[in-house]
Structures are given as C-alpha cells and as structure tokens.
Structure 1
C-alpha cells in the first residue's frame, strides 16, 4: 500500500492523552500495542498520588466511547501485507476461551487503587447518580416490577434479562444502565487506531482505524460476594477503514483480547479467569458471551454485615508475536457494595451474601391503580400534602409550630433526599415496638402514648374487621411513628384507615422488596450511620 498522504504522528488525542512514547517492548523489540480506553462515565475519585492511568479518563455525556491506539513496526506490517496478498485472506486462529484456573490479576499491570471507605464510596455513588439520572423506563414496562432477586447466574446470561436491560434505554450513555441493584449493561463504541512505529517506538504514520460496539452485561450474586461480568462485541458491528488491501488481508486478523479486573488491592477483591482472545473478524461473527467473576473478600470490611465496596472494569489488550501491549484499554470502573448479612430469606431460601450495584437509587414502586389503592393514596398524601394528614401538629384552632415533613419520597437523580432506613424485629425490637405503640396511640388513642394524640390523632379510628390502621413511614423503618425518640417523637408520620385487603397486599410487596433490592437493616455502630447505612425511597406511580 502506498504511504503517500498518510498523517504524521499526532502528539495528542482528542482527550489530551500524549501518545509520543516508546511502543516497542523493551526486551523483545517486537511491535507493540498501546491502548487508551475512554468512556463517558466520569471516573471514580481516588487520591491524586495513587490514581493510575486507567482512572484518569475523559467524560463524554453523549455516548460511551472507547479509543484504542495500537503500534506495529513497519517491517512486521509489510510482512503481513505480503503474506495476505500471496496466500489470500488467512484463516482466523481458533478463539481462546478464558481458562477457569487462571487469575485475571496476572494480566493486570496497573497500579492498584486504595480501598474505599464506606463514606467515600457512598459519596461517589451519589455523584454518579446525580450526574447520570436513571433513564425513564419504556411505557411498555410501566406495570413491570423494577426490582427482583438476583437471577441465576450461568455461563451465558438469560437472553430475556439481556434484552430487558438493553431495551430499557441508557445503556449507550452516561455510565451505562444500572438496571437495578443486581443488573448492569452498557454498549460502548470502540475505535482502534493503528499506527506504524519507528525504531524508537514513536508513531509516525496512521495505517487505519477499526470500529466496533463493545457490549457488557453484568449480574451480581445474592449468595456469594461476587459479580459476573459478561462481554462480547456486538455482532456485525466491526468496520475497517485501513484501505482496500489492508481491509481484506490485515485488519480483520489483528487479535483482540478482553478480560475483566477489579480495581482495588488483592485483599479487597480479585478477578478469576484469563482473557478471551480472537481476531476482530471472529469477534464480529460471534454471539457468545465471555465472562469473568470479580470476588469481594471478607478481609477489610465494616460493621455488623461486613460491608465492603470495590470496583470492576473491562480491559482490552493484545499480546502476540507482532503486537505487545504497552497500556491496555480499561473502561471506567463501576462500583459495587458487598455484604454478608444473615437475615435475608424467602420461602425457605436464604441469601447469606451478596453484591449490589451501588450507582442507583433503591426505591419501592406502588401503583395508584392496583389492588392496594388505599395504601398508595395514603402514601401519596403523606408525601405530597403532609399537613393534611393525621396526627396534626396542634389541635384545631391552635397555630401549628411548623409544617409536617414526612421523608421517603423518590426523586430521580437525588440520592440525598430524606430517606427511609430499614429496621427489623430481631435486630431492633425496641424501635419496632415504639413505632407500633405510637401508631396505635395516633389511630386508637391506646396507651402508652395515646394521651399524646388525644386532640390530634385520627378522629374516626377503624371500626370494622375490613379496615385497618395504616402508617407511613412504615413500622419497619427507623423513620416510623416513634422516631426519633419514643418519649419525644417529631410526629412526622401519617396514619389513615384503609381496607384490610389493601394493607395486606401492600405489606407483602414491602416485605418482598426488602429482599429483592437487598435493603440492609440499620446499623447504628457504623461511622456516620445516616450517610453510610442502606436507605430507600417510595415512588407512587399514577
């Protein structure tokens, strides 16, 4: 191929990353591959002195993008071209599957980042949520539950779950789609630029560009402290722009390896299995997913439930006779939180350990049009017109000292609004009892707190077996009727008479939700407990 008109080596890419560097392997002298992977997701914050190259990435809120820069010596490139023209297009080498016995860490040459504290991790999750609000769900899914217990994890993800996540919107923008606390997906635009390098390893001429779409689908586990990261190239998405000869004889047969890693030090997490390697043309005709497990360890943890955060990412690189990776391409790391809470179970099945995706707002959705409409309407009034709910803050005719402020309303993109925190009978018997006593006082005037609500409580309490007293915030939350102190409550709650059937159905949905979204119970022993404990919200959908 003629080299006339080819661009000279550029000193910077669009993101400002300098590529004037030695690309030849220092010992072997073989051609090299240098990979710089840039994504739209803002990188997680790490101390400046400890931040590795992979965490210094450029944000692009329009789409997720990846840029890869690859070097090859001119004599190697000429040999490949000559072989292709003489013998025809080569047969791609057989794909190399990841080896289960291999540790992905041996392929990770980056500097590991320090462990995240619970507070730093939660603040980082809040920033990502605010910067990338959850995309709206399609109208066709309006009646679908948002959350579910983690789906079984196999060697291939369930096609229905893949479709649901990618079709829901947002997988190709922002940070990708955190579909729920157990499912994540992303579609990343890949651009690989190939440069000839001189004897000093400096890029001198651009030889061509290969583009494709990288798909990532990740499931977290509800019985182990791990996430399984699936990856592949979208079928028929690879395009070559090398010139008419190289498009046939060179570009399709360049090898590409994918692998997943964890970001933190080995005592925090590790990834299993080696890389999956095949030629671009083979990736392009492939529909199979390749996976890696990222494990979080019970070594550096906090609190009763052994909490720990770690990050994972997908890496692209090449190691072969012609190519040698100098800097692999690493996607922006995503954040997971793992725990070993012992109190999650349903229908006799226990879920003793789990990891969840932290960059989403956990919320329970109740529908107004449903078989529990009375409860949905009650919560809607409590969240939107709290001053029109009982108990009142002062008797009729007496000026109110302030407005009622009832927490727990879901606001998309706002993970810092006043929230709810789960409590349980087993772990917090005194708090649960206080919530029940104050509810009964406000509804029925019963002791020990009925005297507090003699003039402000529900004027007509439930009287028939078909009615019950419903309270919001729920009795299973720290913010319930007895909050913050049973002897000095703030009265920021609501009680209302509702149908017994509606109350029972809504209560069942709440119990299921705690398991489905892995809502941990309040742990007062954590540092800065209101900032780092699990919280959740309630969304009333009309």
Structure 2
C-alpha cells in the first residue's frame, strides 16, 4: 500500500479554495462601509455557533473520498513508513504519568495537552505522537477566496486568509475510538484581502471544520457534525471543536480483533452564498484499534482501545546514580551493545565460539524494522513462558530441565543475597531465553532495581498498548506488535 507521508522537516500546509456570491460580498462590504461611517474600527465578532448535527448532506457526501479497508499488513507497513520518516518518542517509563488513565472530556486533557504542545515535532512532519494514546500538531491553513457569478463560476480573486490550526487527539482505553479536537490558534489569523476588506469583510467570512474517518463506514465512522463560525470568532474562541472516530470490531482480524483506520479534519464553506471548490484536509493519521481482554493495572481493566500507531514503541530505562533502574539499564546496555561480554557464553571457556551473539530489541530512532521484541503472556503462551524460565534457571542457577546446556557457560556463581538474576530479552517476550536461537543475557543485579524495572515493564505494556503475540495473524512477524528498549 502506498501512503504519502510528511518528512520530519516538512510543515503541512492545508489549502482550500472557496467562492463567494457577489450579492453576499456586496452585503459584507456595505456593512463594513456603514461601520466605518459610524466610526467603528472593526465589526464585532459573532458568538461561537453550535455544531451541526448533520453529517450527510449531499455536498458533504460528494466531497468525501473514502479509502478501501486496510489489512493488518497495510496498516503496519504504512505506520512504519511514517515512523521511519518522522522519528519521535513514544511513552517512556517513569517520565509520562497516567497515560491510559487520562480522561477524555469536552476539552483536551490539560496536562497532556500542555506537555504535547510544548514538545518537539508539533509544528513539522506529522506532528507529535506524544505517546500512543496522545497526539498533537499545529498545521498552517491557507484559504483562497474568489467572487463567483450566479452560475458558481469564479470571476476574481478577492483575498487569502491564513491561520494556524491546533489538533489534539486522545485514544480511548475502554472503547474502540479516539476523540479528535481542533481549534484555530488564538490570534493566528492573518488576512490578505486589501486594507479595507481585511478589517470589515474577511473576518466575517465563515469557515467550517469537520472530523471524518477516511475508510468506508463499515470500518469506522465519526460522530457530530461540522462547526461553522466566522474567521474572527475562530481566532478568539477558547472552546475546541471535537469529534469521536469509532472503529468497528466486525471488520477486524486475529484473536484481539485488530483493525486500522485513518482520520482527518476537513475545511470548507458550503451553503447558498458560498461554494467550496477545493476542500482542505489535514494529513490522514493512523489509528490501530483492538479488543484485547488481558490489559489491566491492578483492578483497572482496559478491554478495548485505539492507539496512534505511526511511531516506534519503546520503553526507556535510564543509566546513572539517580536512576531507580540503573542496574537493569546497565545490563541491557551491555546486552544490546556488547553481547559477547554477557552470559551465557556460546561455548565453554577456551573453546572457540561458533559465532557472535546478537541480542535483539535495541531502539534505533527512525528504524522500525530493526530486530525487535514481541510480548507473550503466561496465560496465552504457557509453552514459551516455561521455556524462558527453564533456560533462565539453567543459565543463572544451573538448575531445572535445561541446566545441562549451561554447566560450563552460565553464570560462574549464583546471585548472592540481596541480588536477583536479571534476564534480557524479558521473560515476557518471544525472544527470551527459551528462544531456539540462544541470544540472551543473564546478570546478577540488586533486587530493588530488578523489581522497579519489572513494574515499569508491566506498566509500559499497558501504557503503549503492546498486544501479545498471535501466531495466527497473516505474516505474524510483520503484523504483530514489535517493541524496543531504549537505554539513555
């Protein structure tokens, strides 16, 4: 599937072209002349207008261009292509709090919104995927206005209006939906119509915004109608327009009922006095939705969700004396970057190695195809989980059914009191110690560090909605969730 994306350096510019009836234009100018005669310096901005309940007018239906259903491979490959062109972080353990618990209301979550809009990537490329449940962007809008005759034919260009649009979106952790918010950034509107029209005409021309899903209605749908207000009102309106983008479970694949769809926000002005020749649309962004039943933190359960998938999911552990997971970070850093220095050895001491160790899971910005990790659970993958434990026990303690493999290659001594045997890749990954290719590492580390890092890993799986391995998926190594570990 070919998906057009923005490079990290590009800034999206949304252009629309609108025609204005000559009678309407004459009336706006007459109102302006009267205001000038009365000594007014501008026309008062009308109050915000409630959104329309209509989504399926004939003109709107004709303007929409629906795209075909995305297969899992389509969705994953398209997400990876955008992630490669726009490297940016997803959630990092210990740095972003309450990710899945962020409430979805009639305004963006205040904390996440402030964090997101103050961060990098907001004004360029695809915007910022702050974490897989949070997205924000600022895009430039440029609307070109033409006077039209009574047949709707453009006659003369009257002016151009420019502004910055702010987008914010939150994925849900209880339903298969995302809420998309939009507003014109305060005081960002700029008019180029001429000195008089800039003051008395252009600010009162209406603009409509509408959130939509890109795929057919059997895949997804959007709620709420369009918001229509004059430019001057958009420029000073503290409220947000918003729409819910729902993904439909019946068009999905695999054990967890996975489905991809895209969403966009459209710009237009269509009524008896105005005619949109070219709609503006924000670049379509991707959602990955599922109905996995195994996500929980304590008593809180997250049975369904939609996340923003155009990012490389990764967990961050931190080196340094102030880090509570330093020992784990140090171990993983060695495993990823100096694997031949780690236990178990690939041959007994003094015996030439058949090859070098190659341990997967290192996060490389802009490379979503690097060898990654795949999540497993005890309930869904008992055989793989047991194999990981048995091989870890053999390599760490020289015990269990696999101990014979590690009598000469495992840890020279058992972990002392107060320490535990840490393994990487994790026991909860398909690439763990039981993997047929024994590229893993074990090390004795302080128990406190191991417990902290383990808790962060469990929380990370929920925060970034990492789905567990499903061997029944088509091309499973490409379509299953892959995640990475970043050591900083």
Could you tell me which residue of structure 1 aligns to residue 474 of structure 2?
A: 527
Could you tell me which residue of structure 1 aligns to residue 123 of structure 2?
A: 172
Q: Is the 8 A contact 2:266 2:280 kept in 1?
A: yes
Q: Is the 8 A contact 2:6 2:12 kept in 1?
A: no
1:474 aligns with 2:426: yes
Q: Is the 8 A contact 2:90 2:312 kept in 1?
A: no
- d(CA) in 1 for partners of 2:65 and 2:277? 14
Could you tell me which residue of structure 1 aligns to residue 15 of structure 2?
A: 67
Q: Offset at 1:199?
A: 5.7
Could you tell me which residue of structure 2 aligns to residue 264 of structure 1?
A: 215
Q: Is the 8 A contact 1:135 1:170 kept in 2?
A: no
1:436 aligns with 2:389: yes
Q: Offset at 1:241?
A: 1.3
Q: Is the 8 A contact 1:150 1:219 kept in 2?
A: no
Instruction: Name structure 2 gaps, 5 residues minimum.
Output: 37-41
Q: Offset at 1:400?
A: 1.1
Q: Offset at 1:248?
A: 1.8
1:45 aligns with 2:2: yes
Could you tell me which residue of structure 2 aligns to residue 288 of structure 1?
A: 239
Could you tell me which residue of structure 1 aligns to residue 363 of structure 2?
A: 410
Could you tell me which residue of structure 1 aligns to residue 112 of structure 2?
A: 161
Bigger Cα displacement from structure 2, 401-410 vs 236-245: 236-245
Could you tell me which residue of structure 2 aligns to residue 85 of structure 1?
A: 33
2:50 to 97, 105, 111: 97
Q: Is the 8 A contact 2:185 2:235 kept in 1?
A: yes
Could you tell me which residue of structure 2 aligns to residue 514 of structure 1?
A: 461
Deviations 1:54-112 (A, max 9, x none): x8x9979431212222222444423331232135555544422225x554787443231
- d(CA) in 2 for partners of 1:509 and 1:339? 23
Q: Offset at 1:312?
A: 0.3
Could you tell me which residue of structure 1 aligns to residue 69 of structure 2?
A: 115
Q: Give SS of 1:471's match.
A: strand
Instruction: Name structure 1 gaps, 5 residues minimum.
Output: 1-43, 47-54, 484-488
Q: Give SS of 2:274's match.
A: coil
Matched positions, count: 479
Q: Is the 8 A contact 2:266 2:281 kept in 1?
A: yes
Deviations 1:142-177 (A, max 9, x none): 972388225110011122211100111111100111
**RMSD between superposed Cα atoms in Å:** 2.3
Q: Give SS of 2:221's match.
A: strand
- d(CA) in 2 for partners of 1:58 and 1:403? 38
1:339-378 → structure 2 map (5 Å cutoff):
339-369=290-320, 370-378=323-331
1:165-204 → structure 2 map (5 Å cutoff):
165-198=116-149, 201-204=152-155
Could you tell me which residue of structure 2 aligns to residue 423 of structure 1?
A: 376
- d(CA) in 1 for partners of 2:477 and 2:89? 27
Structure-2 change in CA distance of 1:396 and 1:104 (3 Å) = farther
Q: Offset at 1:476?
A: 0.4
TM-score under structure 1 length normalisation: 0.84
TM-score under structure 2 length normalisation: 0.93
- d(CA) in 2 for partners of 1:82 and 1:521? 65
- d(CA) in 2 for partners of 1:224 and 1:142? 24
Could you tell me which residue of structure 2 aligns to residue 392 of structure 1?
A: 345
Q: Is the 8 A contact 1:105 1:261 kept in 2?
A: no
Structure-2 change in CA distance of 1:383 and 1:59 (3 Å) = closer
Q: Is the 8 A contact 2:8 2:126 kept in 1?
A: no
2:85 to 116, 119, 131: 131
- d(CA) in 2 for partners of 1:275 and 1:72? 19
Could you tell me which residue of structure 2 aligns to residue 243 of structure 1?
A: 194
1:319-330 → structure 2 map (5 Å cutoff):
319-330=270-281
Q: Give SS of 2:243's match.
A: strand
Could you tell me which residue of structure 1 aligns to residue 410 of structure 2?
A: 457
1:308 aligns with 2:259: yes
Q: Offset at 1:198?
A: 4.7
Bigger Cα displacement from structure 2, 435-444 vs 150-159: 150-159
- d(CA) in 2 for partners of 1:82 and 1:301? 56
- d(CA) in 1 for partners of 2:401 and 2:284? 52
Structure-2 change in CA distance of 1:239 and 1:177 (3 Å) = same
Q: Offset at 1:266?
A: 0.5
Deviations 1:112-140 (A, max 9, x none): 11000000111111110111111799xxx
- d(CA) in 2 for partners of 1:209 and 1:310? 33
Q: Is the 8 A contact 2:327 2:445 kept in 1?
A: yes
Structure-2 change in CA distance of 1:458 and 1:98 (3 Å) = same
- d(CA) in 1 for partners of 2:243 and 2:93? 33
Could you tell me which residue of structure 2 aligns to residue 338 of structure 1?
A: 289
Q: Give SS of 1:324's match.
A: strand
Q: Give SS of 2:332's match.
A: helix
Q: Is the 8 A contact 1:95 1:276 kept in 2?
A: no
Q: Give SS of 2:328's match.
A: helix
